[in-house]
């Protein structure tokens, strides 16, 4: 897929509307993880070096279409200013007279961060008049917010109808290139690692990859749903009942294609989910009545590590257990380390899997870590996204 690149444009003296994903965790006004802020820095620096003035826009959280101090982007403006070592001006809104005045006074090389786009319901509604108003602020539009490209929101999709000059930032280029490698002639064997919950959300992605993958390994709620679909005992482990019929269909398809498909050989189990629970390890791949599976066991770790070592291409989405509780995180951390130590081209699908590779200290050994979990799944399901379609070369 060819998308319009900022490298082939002239931004000298232009006002550029840069859509980024600054949806970062903020506690009591303090940003606890600035990964997403740093992810857009190469694009920001490049545009500034080309003589642009920047109008940066993002959403933050779910303010339900009205202003809310806890979802203000002001702390982001301060952090961005620290990272760039230059002033980042902050607008009290993202549209209106005051914002236009601030934009008009922007000089070459200056930056203005707009207030949360989602303080207006029209953003998520994909309202064209709202998009037109955003577009009126700029000469050029650049999207570097991969994590929102699966949504037809005003600042991601509709805005491109009102801006003649559109392009993708470096982050989106990187994301599209890495995910496309999984869809177009991936090097074999191709290993798909499925963990976490939200089985239904991942099913279409799995179906689309069945013709490309050689091996599938499972953990977390995903594994227990598949185990139940095999009519095996899962005890009180969390299962997504509504996904069982689809899980049975996937197992049938996997068998028809003679693919390797693994649920865990053993499990870490407890009688209640809590920090002080006493875990034991099962002897087999089922969970006895009254017990809850919280992680994959040592045999499963060994088998899954072998699958990882044989792979040439790996996509991983979702932890192997209740990763938030440290004593149940071993399976997830070991999988992260095994992927880092493999020679495979590896892509991590955001979310808890990305957090796990960071926690394991191996993020720099992964080929690509996606900045949007939902967006990466939808890209692998459809081969494109609405926010990327509008950036394609004609």
Cis peptide before 189 (omega within 30 of 0): yes
By the 8 A CB rule, do 253 and 298 touch? no
Helix (H, G, I), strand (E, B) or coil at 389: helix
DSSP 234: B
Using the Cα atoms of residue 343, residue 344, residue 347 and residue 348 in order, give the sign of their dihedral: negative
Separation CA 36–CA 43 (nearest Å):
13
* 221 Rama class: left (phi>0) / alpha (psi -120 to 50) / beta: alpha
285: CB partners within 8 A, 6+ apart: 227, 232, 263, 264, 265, 266, 267, 300
Dihedral pair phi/psi, residue 252, rounded to 5°: -60, -45
Separation CA 140–CA 17 (nearest Å):
6
Residue appearing with tokens 């957090």? 355
Separation CA 198–CA 176 (nearest Å):
23
Active site members: 36, 198, 351, 374
List, as one string, the DSSP characters of 304-332. Answer: HHHHHHH-SEEEEES-SS-TTSGGG-HHH
H/E stretch holding 374 reads helix 373-382
């Amino acid at each position: 897929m060819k998308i319009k690149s900022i490298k082939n444009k002239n931004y000298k003296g232009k006002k550029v509307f840069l859509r980024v994903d600054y949806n970062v965790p903020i506690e009591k006004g303090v940003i606890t993880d600035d990964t997403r802020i740093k992810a857009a820095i190469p694009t920001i620096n490049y545009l500034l070096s080309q003589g642009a003035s920047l109008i940066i826009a993002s959403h933050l959280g779910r303010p339900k279409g009205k202003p809310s101090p806890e979802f203000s982007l002001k702390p982001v403006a301060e952090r961005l200013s620290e990272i760039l070592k230059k002033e980042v001006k902050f607008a009290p809104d993202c549209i209106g007279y005051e914002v236009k005045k601030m934009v008009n006074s922007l000089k070459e090389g200056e930056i203005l961060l707009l207030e949360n786009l989602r303080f207006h319901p029209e953003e998520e509604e994909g309202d064209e008049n709202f998009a037109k108003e955003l577009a009126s602020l700029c000469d050029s539009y650049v999207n570097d917010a991969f994590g929102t490209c699966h949504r037809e929101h005003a600042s991601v999709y509709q805005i491109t109808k009102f801006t003649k000059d559109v392009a993708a930032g470096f982050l989106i280029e990187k994301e599209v290139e890495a995910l496309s490698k999984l869809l177009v002639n991936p090097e074999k064997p191709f290993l798909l690692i499925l963990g976490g919950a939200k089985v239904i959300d991942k099913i279409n992605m799995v179906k689309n990859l069945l013709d490309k993958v050689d091996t599938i390994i499972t953990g977390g709620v995903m594994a227990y749903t598949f185990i139940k679909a095999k009519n095996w005992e899962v005890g009180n482990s969390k299962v997504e009942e509504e996904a069982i019929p689809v899980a049975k269909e996937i197992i049938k398809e996997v068998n028809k294609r003679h693919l390797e498909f693994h649920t865990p050989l053993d499990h870490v189990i407890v009688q209640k989910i809590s920090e002080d629970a006493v875990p034991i390890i099962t002897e087999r791949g089922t969970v006895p009545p009254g017990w809850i599976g919280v992680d994959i066991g040592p045999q499963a770790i060994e088998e899954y590590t072998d699958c990882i070592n044989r792979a040439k291409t790996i996509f991983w989405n979702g932890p192997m257990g209740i990763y938030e509780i440290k004593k149940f995180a071993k399976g997830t951390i070991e999988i992260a380390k095994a992927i880092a130590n493999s020679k495979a081209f590896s892509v991590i699908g955001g979310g808890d899997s990305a957090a796990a590779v960071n926690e394991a200290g191996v993020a720099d050994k992964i080929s690509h870590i996606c900045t949007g979990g939902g967006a990466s799944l939808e890209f692998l399901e459809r081969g494109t996204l609405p926010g990327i379609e509008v950036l394609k070369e004609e």
